[in-house]
Chains A and B, each alone.
Chain A
Amino acid sequence: VIPLSHYLIVSAILFAIGSAGVFLRRNLITILLSVEIMLNAVNLSFVAFGRAAGDVNGQIITFFVMTVAAAEAAVGLALVIALFRHKESLNPDAFMTLKW
């Protein structure tokens, strides 16, 4: 039987990896992927807590997180395409002006 803390530790390591990706990487697509890693880490801890409590609400909220992640990916990637058309670059440092 695997204790709850093991799942929480895996979740925390995944979240740390995702946030390190957001801080350290200079590529808009990799930053969006890091956000997905963080969302999945939180999903894992939700499902593990729900399992420990014997409650289905932990899984329900996971579905809502997945839907929001799908919406975020669609809008975020559309923004990335629009930005790339203007500057031919995916580096977030290239987009420092409020108007072009």
Chain B
Amino acid sequence: MPETLLFYLLAGLAISASALVIGQRNPMYSVLLLIASFGALAGLYIQLDAPFVAVAQIIIYAGAIMVLFLFVVMLLNAPQEDAAPWDRTHQLRQPGVLRFGTLLAALLIVQLVWALGRAFGVDAPVASRAGGNVSSVRELGRVLFTDHMFAFEATSVLILVAMLGAVVLARREDEQ
């Protein structure tokens, strides 16, 4: 079945690209791999009958946010991780603390596996059209601008505040 094959292909691509993102030492490669992961996720959204979300994912995430990350990575020209000698001798780099972080990550994975063991019972077919057409952009816009009007306006204020905050934070202090 080509649909199932495509799902496993896209899911495998998204997971392996995301795993490589946190495995890279160079943040430049991490950002580029994350763009690949977001592209695969956009394919999954199209399979879920959400074409508008898929397009927004490409335009906003891969197009805007990741380019912002790329700008910062290139602007800082940061040294490689653990390059400075004090990095390796720091008190937070001692084995006990490292083991605690690994313990927390392992704990989360155990919890997720336990939760997923129960998720296997949820076998509702995703393709069922219980009510309404979820792929309709018209319906999406109607709900967004009527039922979620306040959240929409609050989001525009949030973006304005974030813009002002970014300008203030990134300004050089010796200019004032």
A interface residues (Cβ-Cβ under 8 A, vs B): 1-10, 12-21, 23-27, 29-30, 32-34, 36-37, 40, 43-44, 47-48, 50-60, 62-64, 66-75, 77-82, 84-85, 89-91, 93
Contacts and interface: CB of A to CB of B under 8 A. Distances in A.
How many B residues touch the partner, as a band? Answer: 35 or more
Contact of A30 (B30, B129, B169): B30
Interface of B: 3-4, 7, 11, 14-15, 18-19, 21-22, 24, 27, 30-31, 34, 37-38, 41, 44-45, 47-50, 52-53, 56-57, 60-61, 64-65, 68-69, 72-73, 75-76, 78-79, 81-82, 84, 87, 90, 92-93, 101-102, 104-105, 108-109, 112, 115-116, 119-132, 134, 136, 139-140, 143-144, 148, 151, 155, 158-159, 161-163, 165-167, 169-170, 172
B125 A3 contact: yes
A54 B101 contact: no
Contact of A51 (B19, B82, B122, B134): B134
Given A27-B81, A63-B56, A15 B140 contact: no
Contact of B44 (A33, A44, A54, A81): A44
